[in-house]
Structure 1
């Protein structure tokens, strides 16, 4: 039997359950009720659910709440998977999600009977082939509370080679009801479209009911009544709809025009009656649909019949907005106050159309790997990650994806071992690497646009004993940070501001990779970037762009390195030159020569401190006298994670901690801070939602500025040691990285644990 099955009343069946099944149901109910989240309790309840349903396997999908897909949070068997399923009728679970109807199938391989249910419905057998498991019968039930979809329960193979019965469907529907209650609680879903407003005391249930009667009588929308009469802000009405429907809200944007090629296939009167409109996309890929009620399963099915597409993205919107897009209906004055829009999140290749990865290799959804890699890039960009690490697992163990955020790696997700090769192939295709070469390291880059903003990723793949590993360095184009926001000490701020106004000489910013050297240099350059100055920069890569600069990208493949760029700049009438890095003797010599011939030169170096930089450059063969004459100053820096302002905890420092701070800063210098323990408050990390429970959010710099002087020049000319240079620098006002960090601990910006992560005593 292959048919859609109505949601049955299971009360009689439940009353007649055997003692064992009744105990299983009680265990499942108790476990779901007690668990904080659904994911927490699944490993414990898996076997109980299978025994209760007398099935071999099951998959539980949750609504992704993005209007695009459902996510399989758990799958029984050998592997723990996360599978994303588009909201389309092409797959069995997707069909149930879209239609809202439970379905029972006796033979998933019977394509003809699947098409009788829906013409696009099919079963992809790739997973069966890969795992050796053969699916036969299946029952799939929507997990929903009232109307909004919360998930899908997919049950596979009745134990004993039988097919599922009507009674089995009743039990599955009952279990789906229990899951719906859990998901409803976990998603913080509301019970009606305007329950969000009622719970906040903005309107009563009785007033909502009265408005609903007036809607029909006066032919006005609920939005109009809530905003115009109840004076509820539009943003809160939008939030209420999004909370109930569990999809993002989209506001009217006059810059968006529904595609004519899509509208010509549809009757405008029909769209106005049905209150939905296609806003973007291509049926061969995905369509963005704005609808006033995305929980209306019948309309979702009608949309998919009227506009067949590979994938759909649903957004909830006001009826007035939909009519405005369709060129009909009156537009109240308040509509003009709707600002902003919910942009469709996607990753666009800035240079070409993405080549596909064969979807059948992965699961039932064509394009799953493409979506996964795109999602990695989107999530990394949104989280402010500097690097994406894709690390293989041993044997059949899942691969791990970690994001480096604020200098710390955090695990983002796991990729099943069956998927990792396809994911790496996709990354290689986007990076223009050889996908067949898995024995040698490869380098490449990806140029994409995320939500309209350019994003470059530097990609490296390296073979390991467990398989290929990939690292993507995220190089987001941006406008940099203003000089005033570098968090410099007063002395460092004044000295650096003075040095950058000098007409000639060389100023260096030093530190390890990822210490913010480029950001600082561009902050300095931005301060002196005026129409009177001609500024050339050579960078690898160009991460920050500024109007008024002539910025050049280094390309080592054609022999265009920093030294070559510097030689070219000297023929181009420069006032200021920025060289991304002094990594070799030729570049270092050229930079010094340029600074001695009337140019202001900025550059970076990978050294640990300002005094050590002098030793490093002299080791590259620079003439001590020339270097001493050219040098303006050296700024060493590190980036330290800052305490979360929303949750950091104040406390009074103990005597031993206070004494340690004094020793770190230097007892002989401590009095200049004018701080007493009894009057001071320090802060410790706590953890909240804004900082992902880490206690830290963002990073700030700690700095060490060695300013050239007569004494420093003499020391350089005589090839003094780093310790001798440090002593002279501190005598003249320089404070070390540790000392600057201690000041920021006392200010409550950082704590000692983070200071010691980046600087040593």
Structure 2
């Protein structure tokens, strides 16, 4: 009887437990459906997540909740909603480096009992890792994690993550089912919101930013309110306060207005012919500016291409011409106007200058005869060209007139590459050239022969700039002018020139010798004089007397006695060197060994106890030896004198702010190895190909004017005067034999040094090939 009663009691208890479990599961499902209905009915997902967060956490008995969405641009998970306010935003890659990233990558559910248990993580995937940095930043301790990807029709929308059950145990099987259902509901809601934004019941300029989760609806609303209160553009607030990249804001505006987006660039050519007759205050007040001609049609930058009133006013200024429009940020428009018009406070605006340059002319001769080189507009224009080129760090200015009624092109060279600066109306080509000639003390009547001179700009435009001027007669009775801006300033420290460690050590060992000959060779503009001055700065001590003969003196150093040669009056490099030898020198630097006499004196000076530095216009270091011997130098004296010969080129470097890492293909890696030389590569570089090998390529950003390159660095080929090398010089060996010996002595060629800098992430093969062959 007792046993029967006991059995009945147990059966009744089991039935009651089943009813309780059934009731609790029904209640559980009911709460989940209610949450789902609220999410589906919500107009604003961000607001509903705030309202429902406590209900969702209660459903799972969890401490924290994070809803991630996919940033469609950067391919990252970004927290759209999260409980806990220690950190404003979380961004994690879609990868195995985090739990949410792993779930999003693999489309799998993760239920972790202890995220700090590496064995448990590796049991799931040997590469799975928990990113502890967030715990370290917040002080919150993560223990259990339940995470599931948010997917809609195979498209990854984000991830739903719950952290720490309040009872300290692992999340239950029921929790796993619930998180899958909840993620599906959120996936549908996210998709519907994106679709609504795309179709646009209410289309806005910033839908693209919302769709790709660069900002939330709440952040955008606050940005709009803040912008209205501060009386500034919403775009400025988004960029400054919410760190939205300018390129993404531009993409959003471009999609909304259905015209291209244009970003400000300090290297943008000045559209002289489009600016003529247009008042700068009018452009500034109405926020528009002409940028360029595209297939004969003016391209106008404006902040609102839908503003019909302004569009009509602009069209009235260009009668009979079809216009193209581009959208631009307000500040960019103002920057373009400033670039096109402003410079020194004493100078007129560019629109005033170009307005003066316009004339009612019928024939070219009539137009040209009406303009003088002392005309105030011409004077201001030439001054502005020089000042703008200097401000853009240009090395050269090219004035290029064309015959007939074609406008004169003005180009500037920055970091070794020429870009268009502006065009000047054809009627003023002779006046501009004549003005430059007057400034350089050249003969303005002589237009058939080349001339060269110098401009000391301080007396014309305020800034202390020196320019070397060359005029060259060109086809059609025209005359080109090239002005080189002489870079005055301090020498660059020797360790900042861009030497490899091996070349730096060898070069320093040569320049600290008490006597001998150090030569730097390369074409014009390859930085030879800069390198020599850096070497002089390295040895410039009180106890050392250093004389330099230069043409011109560009870099000045305290402690050096520097002399400007004047060939026109017979004060040549050779004459200067003969004078130096009577002036008790320790070190002599001569700007260039361009003739037999200068070279002979240099070698003799190095043999009589002086350290001699100079430059040569040769392409490679071995070639320099053959060139000097062909000039008639005594091979025994030259062999005794030589310490080292260094060939140098300047190669454009990748912009440090936007260069992009990538894993090269095996073919690309093999090509670099073949270009370097397989044996030498294994000996000097010794890098093997693998999936983690990173090279860099240009991308383009606002800091490098969207070129991908910023600045230049040296690549070098250093031939050292070893005993074996001296023997080859004495017997006038062939250049190839000298080259083989130099490589055996440890010389890397220009191309090899460039390839080493490619693997160092400084440049790419395209730029190396542009400056050297071997």
- For the aligned pair, the TM-score class normalised by the smaller chain equals 0.5 to 0.7
**Residue 431 to residue 83, structure 1, CA distance change in 2 (3 Å):** farther
Q: Give the whole-Å Cα distance in 1 for the aligned partners of 2:648 and 2:714.
A: 6
Q: Give the whole-Å Cα distance in 2 for the aligned partners of 1:730 and 1:149.
A: 61
Paired residues for 1:345-494 under 5 Å = 361=370, 367-449=376-458, 453-466=463-476, 467-494=478-505
Secondary structure, counterpart of 1:542 in structure 2: coil
Residue of structure 1 equivalent to 2:64: none
Q: Give the whole-Å Cα distance in 1 for the aligned partners of 2:541 and 2:634.
A: 33
Most deviating of 672-681 and 490-499 = 672-681
Residue of structure 1 equivalent to 2:760: 747
Higher helix share: 2
1:706 to 716, 719, 737: 719
User: Contact conserved, 1:359 with 1:366, CA < 8 A, in 2?
Assistant: no
1:496-523 deviation digits (Å, cap 9, x = unpaired): 1111111001110111111110010000
1:629-688 deviation digits (Å, cap 9, x = unpaired): 111111111111111112212111111111111112211122231211214211111222
1:436: Cα distance to partner?
2.5
Paired residues for 1:215-614 under 5 Å = 361=370, 367-449=376-458, 453-466=463-476, 467-614=478-625
1:477: Cα distance to partner?
1.0
Paired residues for 1:132-171 under 5 Å = 142=282, 145=285
User: Contact conserved, 2:271 with 2:422, CA < 8 A, in 1?
Assistant: no
**Residue 417 to residue 174, structure 1, CA distance change in 2 (3 Å):** closer
1:696: Cα distance to partner?
1.2
1:81: Cα distance to partner?
4.7
Q: Give the whole-Å Cα distance in 1 for the aligned partners of 2:749 and 2:271.
A: 50
1:188 to 323, 327, 330: 330
User: Contact conserved, 1:72 with 1:83, CA < 8 A, in 2?
Assistant: no
User: Contact conserved, 2:257 with 2:327, CA < 8 A, in 1?
Assistant: no
Q: Give the whole-Å Cα distance in 1 for the aligned partners of 2:444 and 2:748.
A: 51
Q: Give the whole-Å Cα distance in 2 for the aligned partners of 1:494 and 1:730.
A: 16
User: Contact conserved, 1:642 with 1:750, CA < 8 A, in 2?
Assistant: yes
User: Contact conserved, 1:373 with 1:423, CA < 8 A, in 2?
Assistant: yes
1:529-579 deviation digits (Å, cap 9, x = unpaired): 010100000001111111110000010100111100000000000000001
1:437: Cα distance to partner?
2.4
User: Contact conserved, 2:410 with 2:422, CA < 8 A, in 1?
Assistant: yes
1:177: Cα distance to partner?
8.1
Secondary structure, counterpart of 2:465 in structure 1: strand
User: Contact conserved, 1:39 with 1:73, CA < 8 A, in 2?
Assistant: no
Secondary structure, counterpart of 2:717 in structure 1: strand
Secondary structure, counterpart of 2:661 in structure 1: strand
* Structure whose alpha-carbon radius of gyration is higher: 2
Residue of structure 2 equivalent to 1:20: none
1:692 to 702, 705, 708: 705
Tell me which of the two structures has the higher relative contact order, counting C-alpha pairs closer than 8 angstroms and 6 or more residues apart: 1
1:394: Cα distance to partner?
3.3
1:453: Cα distance to partner?
4.9
Q: Give the whole-Å Cα distance in 2 for the aligned partners of 1:428 and 1:532.
A: 44
User: Contact conserved, 2:263 with 2:328, CA < 8 A, in 1?
Assistant: no
Q: Give the whole-Å Cα distance in 2 for the aligned partners of 1:453 and 1:479.
A: 17
Secondary structure, counterpart of 1:487 in structure 2: coil
User: Contact conserved, 1:483 with 1:524, CA < 8 A, in 2?
Assistant: yes
- Gap runs ≥5 in structure 2: 1-253, 291-307, 318-323, 351-366
1:368: Cα distance to partner?
2.0
User: Contact conserved, 1:687 with 1:693, CA < 8 A, in 2?
Assistant: yes
Secondary structure, counterpart of 1:418 in structure 2: helix
Paired residues for 1:619-638 under 5 Å = 619-638=630-649
Q: Give the whole-Å Cα distance in 1 for the aligned partners of 2:565 and 2:699.
A: 44
Q: Give the whole-Å Cα distance in 2 for the aligned partners of 1:488 and 1:654.
A: 28
1:615 to 617, 626, 651: 626
1:454: Cα distance to partner?
2.4
Aligned length: 472
1:35: Cα distance to partner?
4.3
Secondary structure, counterpart of 1:538 in structure 2: strand
Q: Give the whole-Å Cα distance in 2 for the aligned partners of 1:503 and 1:687.
A: 47
Backbone CA RMSD of aligned residues: 3.8
Residue of structure 1 equivalent to 2:313: 176
Q: Give the whole-Å Cα distance in 2 for the aligned partners of 1:732 and 1:759.
A: 21
Secondary structure, counterpart of 1:720 in structure 2: coil
1:663 to 674, 683, 686: 674
Q: Give the whole-Å Cα distance in 1 for the aligned partners of 2:386 and 2:337.
A: 24
User: Contact conserved, 1:390 with 1:469, CA < 8 A, in 2?
Assistant: yes
1:725 to 738, 741, 762: 738
Residue of structure 2 equivalent to 1:644: 655
1:90-119 deviation digits (Å, cap 9, x = unpaired): xxx58xx4xxxxxxxxxxxxxxxxxxxxxx
User: Contact conserved, 2:284 with 2:334, CA < 8 A, in 1?
Assistant: no
1:287: Cα distance to partner?
6.7
User: Contact conserved, 1:402 with 1:411, CA < 8 A, in 2?
Assistant: yes
**Residue 397 to residue 702, structure 1, CA distance change in 2 (3 Å):** same
User: Contact conserved, 2:262 with 2:327, CA < 8 A, in 1?
Assistant: no
User: Contact conserved, 1:150 with 1:183, CA < 8 A, in 2?
Assistant: no
User: Normalising by structure 1, what TM-score?
Assistant: 0.57
**Residue 144 to residue 562, structure 1, CA distance change in 2 (3 Å):** closer
Secondary structure, counterpart of 1:419 in structure 2: helix
User: Contact conserved, 1:287 with 1:312, CA < 8 A, in 2?
Assistant: no
**Residue 663 to residue 149, structure 1, CA distance change in 2 (3 Å):** closer
**Residue 559 to residue 82, structure 1, CA distance change in 2 (3 Å):** farther
Q: Give the whole-Å Cα distance in 2 for the aligned partners of 1:484 and 1:39.
A: 36
Paired residues for 1:47-196 under 5 Å = 80-83=273-276, 97=281, 142=282, 145=285, 175-176=312-313, 186=328, 188-189=330-331
